Chains A and B, each alone.
Chain A
């Protein structure tokens, strides 16, 4: 009797193991700490990077797409050209592209989508100088600009340039679209349970072909340690944007791996020259800070060495980035000389930073470095809402943050010198802000080498005046089950599900 039971047990075990091996795995569980809540790209309150990362990036397509290397490749448009004056972009649309409801995508949908997204706050920031779009014929759309803007094609690959269905929108409206979004993307939205998970399903009629992964669940896991455990445990297969420190702790013997890629963001320390700060009317003090920062030490300490040092506030992958700019090397002796020549008398020099982030660690390392040369440096680590408030109000001596350029364009560096148009830097009282702003605005209109030359002048002023200490280009990460193929790290922290499949 005992033998019979044992035999039965062994048999059932073998059967169940065999069953697992036989079933072709076609589902994927993604873990993320950032919840997507808006699924309609032309939502009047806009969408953000969290909405885009998994959901919008896979539900919709834009006319052109940015690949993992940051290059612009065809998507809903098969080809495109720019007029000589840079004021008109002509796109040839892909034929036979279907929306999730089975209807065909047309030139009208393209004109309608762009026309609706461009005037929104997000649209104004990403589709810079957009004027209007025009349907030439069923497969050609022209997009006109008010003034040339060299980074415009990158904007056409961003989340605000996603194409949605005109007729569906007219039938259901913005709220209906949010509740049951349809796009031309490789995946359809099945359900979204706020605070818990979002479920996607493959779109079999996707223009590029049927996706390999049929079902995708995006699970919200806010605690970073729990994320790592869930990945090692097999609860999730892919983890969005884990920190480098957490990646280093991953136990690769459990069949998980991780990858890094260049990001759209760079980490920079901004030194204030507002009244009442040590940097006010004191170039020698600002230069002392500039020379005292050991960037390599910061990269080792905060990023385990997985980041590229930068000396201007632009990532190496930005289009339009100049070369041959001035670089101030790390030099403690020089820093001490500058400090001696400055008006500095041991006042507190406070670095503003968002608490609990990697930038908090960066600030602490720099604090130590500045104290070494005799600056009474402190760190003011606050929650994100307070951080934004203090930043916009200009209430800091120095501030460290990661700034993304969703366009991956040199133009992004101008954010901190937007003397007129934008709120954040109304409180930036650098005496040469206007000069930098004018150069940046001129560069927007210029093309090629002429454009780079203008940026070169602008970044050299920033370095000369020591308004900023650029630290490193940030690194994007993905951690995942080692049996997954085709996982690529994208500069905008998104994941392109169509390319992913399970190894046989």
Chain B
């Protein structure tokens, strides 16, 4: 078990190197000269050359990348080219907002989505099943920015219950997590229902019923336990995508999180910030995937964590 975890963690290293190298090359090739963006149009050619040398932009891309990664190994994630702040503290300062947002959205999506999915599977082809189908289709097709905007108009402007933007209290996070979780809720709901219905048709369920087990026990002990496997995977993937995909929600609700940090950095070609953020998100997603796999093995003893 420990060996497996260690192996998975070690595997993260080539993944991070691959991702960061790819991003670094793309960013370097993208139009937009960081020196010019920092100094503005008033800068003379001489000022620009000095700054380029200072930032190391006059060296080949591969050399720049290697220098950067050596810095990272020494724990130096660099400073923002544009604002001058240090990348690591800035990232850590914003991380809690993103984690809170992603966790709340996932909790909301998982609790409602999975319960509705279970109920619609048990009560297949009844009103609740059709209702949840309609709900899932609706939530799945709504773009996050539009859903967020409508929620703002209803809850902030018309009803005046919730603040429209910013962070500070639990109230601030209600609408954003609803918005971010809507899509996930829909997929959780459908996934749970399909997976449960699959299991219900299996021979061992028929056997359980045939030997006279009460319906409640059949559902909880047999159907749920077996039907939950793909759902758990889905939860893990969705959580990771909530972490990386909160960009739109963070910008609509002005949440100072990792997503908005990344987007602004990309816009201004602020390579140290982009790289630092990508490294952390990649490691974070890798760890979540590992946790999901461990959970998987815990739920289903048939899964062996050897390969």
Contacts and interface: CB of A to CB of B under 8 A. Distances in A.
Contacts of A229: 152-153, 156-157, 164-165
A232 B40 contact: no
B101 to A, nearest CB: 13
B149 to A, nearest CB: 6
Contacts of B253: 223, 226
B39 interface: yes
Which interface class (under 10, 10 to 19, 20 to 34, 35 or more) fits B? Answer: 35 or more
Interface in A259-281: none
Secondary structure call for the B interface? loop
B47 interface: yes
A193 B256 contact: yes
Contacts of B31: 382, 385-386, 389-390
B166 A223 contact: no
B39 A121 contact: yes
B42 A422 contact: yes
Given A195-B94, A226-B254, A385-B32, A122 B42 contact: yes
Given A124-B42, A390-B31, A195 B166 contact: no
Interface stretch (B125-133, B181-189, B195-203, B261-269): B261-269
A226 B42 contact: no
B38 A195 contact: no
Interface in B110-157: 149, 152-153, 156-157
Which interface class (under 10, 10 to 19, 20 to 34, 35 or more) fits A? Answer: 35 or more
B36 interface: yes
Given A45-B84, A125-B42, A235-B165, A222 B254 contact: yes
Interface in B60-110: 82-85, 90, 93-94
Contacts of B47: 121
B36 A423 contact: yes
Contacts of A193: 93, 256
A196 B166 contact: yes
Contacts of A220: 254, 256
Interface of B: 30-33, 36-45, 47-48, 82-85, 90, 93-94, 149, 152-153, 156-157, 160, 163-167, 251-254, 256-257, 260-261, 267-269
25 contacts: A31-B165, A38-B83, A45-B84, A121-B42, A121-B44, A178-B84, A196-B166, A219-B165, A223-B253, A223-B254, A225-B149, A225-B252, A226-B165, A226-B253, A229-B152, A233-B160, A235-B163, A235-B165, A382-B31, A388-B41, A389-B32, A422-B43, A423-B41, A423-B45, A426-B45
Interface of A: 31, 37-38, 43, 45-46, 48, 121-122, 124-125, 178, 193-197, 219-223, 225-227, 229-230, 232-233, 235, 382-386, 388-390, 392, 415, 421-424, 426
